[in-house]
Chains A and B, each alone.
Chain A
Amino acid sequence: MNHLPVLPVLLPVLTAVLLLLIGDHGGDARGGHGHRKLRWARALSVGSALAGLLIAARLVAFADGGELLVYRLGDWPAPFGIVLVVDRLSALLLLLTACVALPVLWYAAGGWDAHGRHFHALFHFQLMGLNGAFVTGDLFNLFVFFEVLLIASYVLLLHGQGRERYRAGVHYVVLNLAASALFLVGVALIYAFTGTLNFADLALRVPRVSGAEAGVLQAAALVLLVVFGFKAALVPLALWLPATYAAASAPVAALFAIMTKVGVYAIVRVHGVVFGDSGGASALVVQPLLLPLLLPLALATCALGVTGALAAHSLPRLVAWLTVASVGTILAAIGLFGVAAWGAALYYLAHSTLVIAGLFLLAELVAAQRGDAGGRLEPASPVAQPALLGTLLLLAAASNAGLPPLPGFIGKLMILEASSSHPWAAAVWSVVLLAGFFTLVGLARAGSILFWHTRADAPGSASGASPRLVAATVALLGAGVAMSVFAAPLQRYTLDAARQLGDRAAYARAVLPETGGERAVTTRPYRVTPPRTPPPTPQEVPR
């Protein structure tokens, strides 16, 4: 058996355990910077992230062949055991996570990791949760990996401490725990009426549920939409995000840029594929419920995001609002439900994650050079490296707003093209284009205050940012821009990924080969209502 698909989960967890064994500097923030244990931890942590990047690249190369990689843990056959499945979408998101994680770790190793305890171990636990959520082949493990990444994120959010972080942390933790409870309700309801939680098996089973049970199943799907919408920051569940991300330390916020995309991924995987339109005369299709719901909410998210960005009074908060706007754009494309639209959404997702992670790092670089004013958008002392930081901000702003020839433009163009025959085309075009314009206005306003409205009397910082911090930021923004250079192969890949998502039969064949692929009829011995046909086994007879 090919063990590659399990490595993205195993590598971070083993690294994290090793990092815990190494220990840390004992919370000594001042003297911890050059501590021997911290140096070891940094080397191990960055090395592991690099290995993760190589594994993810290998998986993308495999997945691009069109074959689904299925890994059976313990070699149990599919609907009964746990499976990990890597298709093009999963591989793309694994690679994206690794591409964000490596520069962010490099940045954090420049000093942030000494501001609290066990930063590197928690970072790798979070990576394990992220990677696990992307590769898992069943709904309950999606919940488990969500919890893993959330528990790590609770602590990472508080990294560096301070009153504001605790205030945001309490909100974030309580809201997420409530959402997790809802997640379990949805999972339990789905299990109750289908008897399975395996994605491939569910996709076969959901259309066969009918009558009153189908109604409950629809309710379960909408409960899950609330949960995933909350993680993805979909309106009206988006308001927790700006305060939380703005309060987090810069490397943590940059890593969190990918967390909203886990919510988007879950919506695509569960609502788009499992509960999606499976063709034929299926009794239950969630699409009629989801189709009119997702697109308007996503457009509202986009509008709210840019409005917040215009009103933001500090640079980190502005970037956090732009995160909301980008999620809105991605989900609007997902809500169009088409191969071209999904391909566009995936391309834009990859780009916006990289640019927003880079912007969070850049925001801190700028804030560090402005004396007491920090990231607040008010006149302060001039920054030490105006040309470098200004160019980076301009580049990120232009790409995020969607100016040619940057990848943000290509992504948005793909989304607009895909929506042109949709009845909502006018709304999509106006919201996406206006959002791009207002993003540019918001970032231009921020940039002109930060770099031009300087006060000579305010004490400034004499030194520029260290080359390591700048290199990490440039790497993230550069990766975003490189997506423009490799636009054609990337676009082909994301379109193929979207096409592969629609092919449920191939997914079922890959995951359930022993039980007959897309015609699999797995036994359900635990139903209360007697089956209409004579039971094949005595176990099917209820009490």
Chain B
Amino acid sequence: MTSLEFLLASGIGWVTACGIWLLLRGRTFPVVLGLTLLGYAVNVFIFAMGRLWSGVPPILAGGSAVADPLPQALVLTAIVIGFATTGFVIELALRSHHESGTDQVDGRPEAARRDGEGAA
């Protein structure tokens, strides 16, 4: 059981790190991907905060152990909100691209060009 917890914890940590790295990029598309990854990591994190159980129902049934149903309910809410905001931020990024003519987060094309050269 310890190994499962280690696996989950390091997985959440790795996805969070990737999310933050992408979040710090200069272009809107990686930033949106970063936000999405961060959202995934947080959702799994909330789920894990109910502790890890296997083969246990999330319902009080006389005598048996119970998995905590509340984090599962919380994570559903968080997923819905995260989905909606991701949809919005993608649309916003596209619209911002149309308005400023660049997909750079600051709306400055020269910074985007430098960033692109650095990556290439």
Among A22-30, A170-178, A307-315, A510-518, the one that faces the other chain is: A170-178
Q: Which residues of B contact A178 (CB under 8 A)?
A: 23, 35, 38
Residues of B69-99 contacting chain A, CB below 8 A: 70-71, 74, 77-78, 81, 84-85, 88-89, 92-93, 95-96, 99
CB-contacts of B89-120 with A (<8 A): 89, 92-93, 95-96, 99-100, 105-107
B46 at the interface (CB under 8 A from A): yes
The complex places the Cα of A528 from the Cα of B5 at a distance, in Å, of: 13
Known interface pairs A166-B107, A167-B100, A543-B53; A191-B71 also in contact (CB < 8 Å) = yes
Q: A140-B77, A169-B96, A543-B53 are in contact. Are A191 and B70 (CB under 8 A)?
A: yes
- Given A166-B100, A174-B23, A539-B60 in contact, is the A188-B46 Cβ separation under 8 Å? yes
* Chain A neighbourhood of B95, CB < 8 A: 166
Chain B min CB distance to A189 (Å): 7
CB distance from A161 to the nearest CB of B (A): 8
Q: Would A167 and B23 be within 8 Å (CB), given that A174-B35, A191-B71, A526-B68 are in contact?
A: no
**Across the interface, do B89 and A543 meet the contact criterion of CB distance under 8 Å?**
no
Q: Tell whether A144 is near chain B: CB-to-CB under 8 Å.
A: yes
CB proximity of B22 to chain A, nearest CB, Å: 11
| Binary interface encoding of chain A residues 497-531 relative to chain B, with 1 for a CB under 8 A from any of its CBs, else 0 | 00000000000000000000000000001101000
Say which size band chain A's interface belongs to: 35 or more
Q: List A contacts of B96 (CB < 8 A).
A: 166-167, 169-170
Residue from A173, A181, A191, A192 having most chain B Cβ neighbours under 10 A: A181
Residue of A nearest to B65 (CB): A543
Contact flags A136-160 to B (C-beta < 8 A → 1, else 0): 0000100010010001001000100
> A202 to nearest B CB, angstroms?
14
Interface residues of B in 1-19 (CB under 8 A from A): none
A89 to chain B, nearest CB (A): 26
- Rounded to whole angstroms, the CA-CA distance of A525 and B50 in the bound complex is 12
Contact B35 A151 (CB under 8 A): no
Q: Is the interface of B mostly helix, strand, loop or mixed?
A: helix
Q: Which residues of A contact B100 (CB under 8 A)?
A: 163, 166-167
Do B65 and A170 touch across chains, with their CB atoms under 8 A apart? no
Residues of A within 8 A of B105 (CB): 170-171, 174
State whether B88 touches A151 (Cβ < 8 A). yes
Contacts of A140 in B (CB 8 A): 74, 77
Give the CA-CA distance A541 to B63 in the complex, in Å. 9
Distance between A432 CB and nearest chain B CB, rounded to angstroms: 35
Residue contact A184 to B65, C-beta cutoff 8 Å? no
User: Are the CB atoms of A191 and B51 closer together than 8 Å?
Assistant: no
Question: Which of A154, A161, A173, A526 is close to B51, meaning CB atoms less than 8 Å apart?
Answer: A526
Residue of B nearest to A525 (CB): B66
Q: Is A538 engaged at the interface, CB distance under 8 Å to the other chain?
A: yes
A78 to chain B, nearest CB (A): 15
Look across to chain A and name the residue whose beta carbon is closest to the beta carbon of B1. A543
Known contacts: A147-B81, A163-B100. The answer to whether A526 contacts B92 by CB under 8 A is no
Nearest neighbor of A543 in chain B, beta-carbon distance? B65
Residues of the A chain whose Cβ atoms lie less than 8 Å from the Cβ of B50 = 192, 526
Are B46 and A144 neighbours in the complex by a CB distance under 8 Å? no
Residue of B nearest to A162 (CB): B99
Q: Is A163's CB under 8 angstroms from B99's CB?
A: yes
**Could you tell me the distance between the alpha carbons of A70 and B35 in the complex, rounded to whole angstroms?**
37
Residues in A whose Cβ lies below 8 Å from that of B78: 184
State the Cβ distance, A141 to closest chain B Cβ, in Å: 10
**Complex partner residue of A543 from B56, B63, B93, CB under 8 angstroms:** B56
Residues A191 and B84 in contact, CB atoms below 8 Å apart:
no
- Contact among A163, A169, A174, A184 for B46, CB-based, below 8 A: A184
Instruction: Count chain A CB atoms within 10 A of each CB in B50, B53, B78, B89 and give the residue with the most.
Output: B78
Whole-angstrom distance from the CB of A543 to the nearest CB of chain B?
A: 5
Which of B28, B50, B68, B71 lies at the interface centre, i.e. has the most chain A CB atoms within 10 A of its CB?
B68
Q: How far is the CA of A147 from the CA of B80 in the complex (A)?
A: 11
Given A191-B71, A526-B67, output 12 extra A-B contacts at Cβ < 8 Å: A147-B85, A151-B85, A163-B100, A173-B88, A174-B31, A177-B89, A188-B42, A188-B71, A189-B49, A191-B70, A539-B60, A542-B65
Q: List 28 A-B contacts (CB under 8 A).
A: A158-B92, A163-B100, A163-B107, A166-B95, A166-B100, A169-B92, A169-B96, A170-B28, A170-B92, A171-B105, A173-B88, A174-B23, A174-B31, A177-B89, A185-B42, A188-B42, A188-B46, A188-B74, A191-B49, A191-B70, A191-B71, A192-B50, A525-B66, A526-B50, A528-B51, A541-B65, A542-B65, A543-B53
In the A-B complex, the 3 residue pairs with the smallest Cβ-Cβ separation, listed nearest first, are A192-B49, A526-B68, A167-B107
Residues of A whose CB lies within 8 Å of any CB of B are 140, 144, 147, 151, 154, 158, 161-163, 166-167, 169-171, 173-174, 177-178, 180-181, 184-185, 187-189, 191-192, 525-526, 528, 538-539, 541-543
